[in-house]
């Protein structure tokens, strides 16, 4: 069984994000970048399935500029067998990424596609669902447990009311939630091995996909700074301020 795992290069989750002075977007100059945490969980799950003998090959995929090769090497250091980079300098929106992944599915014919439920930069939570629709595949989103048995996969999903378990026929698309697993620590020997693994590079034109943005960002701004809190002497004063000043009741 072949598994495709898309990974995205994002601003590291420990970094405080700064907005550009002109409000055109987020400033990523000289900022530490890393693999999207949800995608890291997806890579770990695919590698664990291979270690169980369920999966034979794990392919990491990234879409973006040449620097995304670093993210792919990290995925290969975790345990992915090879990488594919779809190189472009265009701003990639979820629909464009889903179309690129659909083209790669047609090319590679994987039985399972595991990806993070969302990226921590745009928080869109759209790519997995769009991919499943474009490829006409069953989907299990927000997975907290994945069990493959024969040509079926059982996915335990985290939903508002608790947990839901769905049974999908392979091939299928799965998006990962935080509680699915804890990614392993990447060791130096594995980082060195990853440098020797195969990494293929394609352009969107090679896959016959138009990746021009369909949406335009008008303005990006930081949330307003919160005022300092105050102490109130009693409940009556609190209720009065909530009603007349904050106007929340």
Q: How would residue 5 be classed by pLDDT, with cut points 50, 70 and 90?
A: very high
CATH code, domain with 159: 3.40.50.620
Residue 131 has pLDDT above 90, yes or no: yes
Q: How would residue 24 be classed by pLDDT, with cut points 50, 70 and 90?
A: confident
Q: Is 88 within the bounds of a domain? A: yes
pLDDT of residue 225: 84
Q: Which range of residues forms the domain containing residue 70?
A: 2-244
Reading the block at residue 36, the tokens are 């999207």
75-126 pLDDT, tens digit each: 999 999 999 999 999 999 999 999 999 999 999 999 999 999 999 999 999 9
Q: Is 249 within the bounds of a domain? A: no
Residues 6+ apart with CB under 8 A from 184: 44, 78
pLDDT of residue 113: 97
191-245 pLDDT, tens digit each: 999 999 999 999 999 999 999 998 888 898 888 888 888 899 999 999 999 999 8
- Count the alpha carbons within 13 Å of 245 in the hemisphere toward its beta carbon: 7
Reading the block at residue 140, the tokens are 């299990």
52-70 pLDDT, tens digit each: 999 999 999 999 999 999 9
pLDDT of residue 208: 93
- Count the alpha carbons within 13 Å of 54 in the hemisphere toward its beta carbon: 18
- Give how many domains the chain has, as a whole number: 1
* CA atoms of 182 and 184, how far apart (whole Å): 6
pLDDT of residue 44: 97
Expressed in angstroms, the distance from the first to the final Cα of the chain is 57
């Amino acid at each position: 069984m072949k598994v495709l795992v898309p990974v995205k290069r994002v601003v590291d989750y420990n970094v405080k994000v700064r907005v550009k002075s002109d409000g055109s977007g987020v400033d990523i100059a000289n900022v530490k970048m890393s693999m999207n945490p949800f995608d890291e969980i997806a890579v770990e799950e695919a590698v664990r399935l291979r270690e169980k003998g369920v999966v034979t090959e794990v392919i990491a995929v990234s879409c973006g500029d040449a620097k995304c090769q670093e993210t792919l090497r990290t995925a290969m250091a975790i345990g992915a067998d090879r990488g594919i980079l779809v190189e472009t300098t265009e701003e990639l929106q979820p629909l464009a990424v889903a179309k690129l992944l659909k083209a790669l599915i047609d090319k590679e014919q994987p039985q399972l596609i595991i990806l993070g439920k969302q990226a921590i930069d745009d928080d869109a939570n759209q790519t997995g669902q769009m991919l499943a629709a474009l490829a006409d595949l069953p989907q299990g989103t927000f997975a907290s447990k994945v069990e493959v048995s024969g040509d079926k996969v059982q996915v335990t999903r985290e939903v508002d009311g608790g947990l839901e378990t769905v049974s999908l026929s392979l091939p299928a698309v799965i998006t990962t939630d935080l509680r699915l697993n804890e990614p392993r620590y990447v060791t130096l020997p594995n980082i060195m091995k990853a440098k020797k693994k195969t990494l293929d590079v394609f352009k969107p034109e090679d896959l016959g996909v138009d990746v021009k943005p369909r949406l335009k960002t008008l303005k990006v701004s930081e949330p307003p700074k919160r005022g300092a809190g105050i102490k109130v002497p009693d409940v009556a004063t609190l209720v009065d301020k909530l009603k007349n000043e904050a106007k929340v009741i």
